[in-house]
Amino acid sequence: MDVRVQAAPFDFGAEAAAFAAGRADVGAVVTFTGIVRDDSGDLRAMHIEHYPGMTERAITAIAEEAAGRWALGDVLVIHRFGAMAPGEMIMMVATAAPHRADAFAAAEFLMDYLKSRAPFWKKEVTSRGAAWVAATEADEAALGRW
């Protein structure tokens, strides 16, 4: 299990390739990548604040919960904080499992919990100023399925 919280960009292709390489013990690798999305065409930057003492511990607890629920070969979580431009990658998760259903379920579980239970807060900067991204009821409701 590998959990990283960092300001620096990460190399998604290299991370995904290294995670999936040489695994004859698993048949399925799922990755999820979150990207700074610009719906309005007016987004200048996204700033992500986090809780330095708590973040890594909270993510590790979520990943351990996933490892306990599904038969996984490995889990990777990388999550950035700080300033990012539209199109930049915010975070990724990767799961490896003998069977695809486990790899998919664990990746979706990780994403649902990272969205609402890991201490990150997003702020969007547009031409009209800066605004905190509000949590959605859909994101909170997504936890109910696990």
Partner 1 sequence: MTLDLVYFAWVRERIGAAGERVETQAPTVAALVEELRAREERYAAAFADLSALRCAVDQELADFDAPLDGAREVAFFPPMTGG
Query: What is the contact surface with partner 1 in residues (CB under 8 A)?
Result: 34, 48-49, 51, 53-54, 57-58, 79, 90-91, 100, 111, 114-123, 132-135, 139-140
Q: Tokens at residue 117, please?
A: 């239970």
Closest CA to 126 of 9, 47, 8, 34: 47
Selected from 107, 113, 120, 124, the binder of a second copy by CB under 8 A is 107
Residue 10 interacts with a second copy (CB under 8 A): yes or no: no
Cα-based angle 61, 64, 66 (whole degrees, multiple of 5): 115
Q: Tokens at residue 99, please?
A: 């069977």
The one of a second copy, partner 1, none whose footprint includes residue 134, by CB under 5 to 8 A per kind, is: partner 1
Closest CA to 7 of 77, 83, 76, 115: 83
Question: What residues make contact with a second copy under the rule CB under 8 A?
Answer: 11-14, 16-18, 20-39, 43, 86-87, 89, 98, 100-101, 103-104, 107-108, 111, 142
